[in-house]
Amino acid sequence: MRPSRLGIAVKLFALGALGGCSVLGNSTNSAPPPVPEGRSTDYAPIAPLLEMMSALPQGDPARQAELFQSAKDQASLSPTTSNRLKYALALAVPGHSGSDPVAAQRQLSELLARPETLLPDERLLALVELQEVDQRLVLQTENQRLLDEASHDSRDKLQAANHRLQAESDENARLRKALDEARAKLDAVTHIERSITERAATEPHSP
């Protein structure tokens, strides 16, 4: 899945709108919850991050590597909270060779452990992406479990087929041996009968 700047912004707005509400609130209220007082809907401060997240999976491999390496270098050379967040988001974005949801989960969790160091929009963006990464890792774990079960089932079926094949091969070998023995006995009997017939033919007959 390729992240959409608009889609991320929509999720940010929804999450921001719910920021002051309880998750266990009344779900039957059809009216949308109000935006918390002082909450801005201007996402200009995180626009570069959204742009990077949108562009990263869509470029050619060289462009992807350039964008990812730039985010990594900035976080390494100047490890400000914003640069660390940018790198964590680059790790979280799927669809490029540098994507690493496990590392993204760890770094986003570390950043969110000190929410006061993040701007409100940065905090929301980090939270949204952490939730996305968590869900992706759960799905990956479940997919791997299903693959392992299928692989185990396939191995069992292959072993059973091999056992049947070996049993059939052993039975064929036994039958061939028995057939060879029967032919040898038949040849011996035929040879004896022929010898008796030839001897009888050469012996003089009594008057």
**Regions of the chain short of the pLDDT cut 50:** 1-3, 5-6, 17-40
Q: Give DSSP secondary structure letters for 131-167.
A: HHHHHHHHHHHHHHHHHHHHHHHHHHHHHHHHHHHHH
Are the CB atoms for 54 and 3 separated by under 8 Å?
A: yes
Class of residue 137 by CB neighbours under 10 A (exposed 0-12, middle 13-18, buried 19+): middle
Q: Taking the domains of the chain in order of start, what are their residue ranges? A: 5-18+44-142
Q: What is the pLDDT of residue 170?
A: 79
Residue 65 pLDDT: 93
DSSP secondary structure letters along 35-88: PPTT-----GGGHHHHHHHHHTTTS-HHHHHHHHHHHHHHHHHS--HHHHHHHH
pLDDT for the residue 204:
64
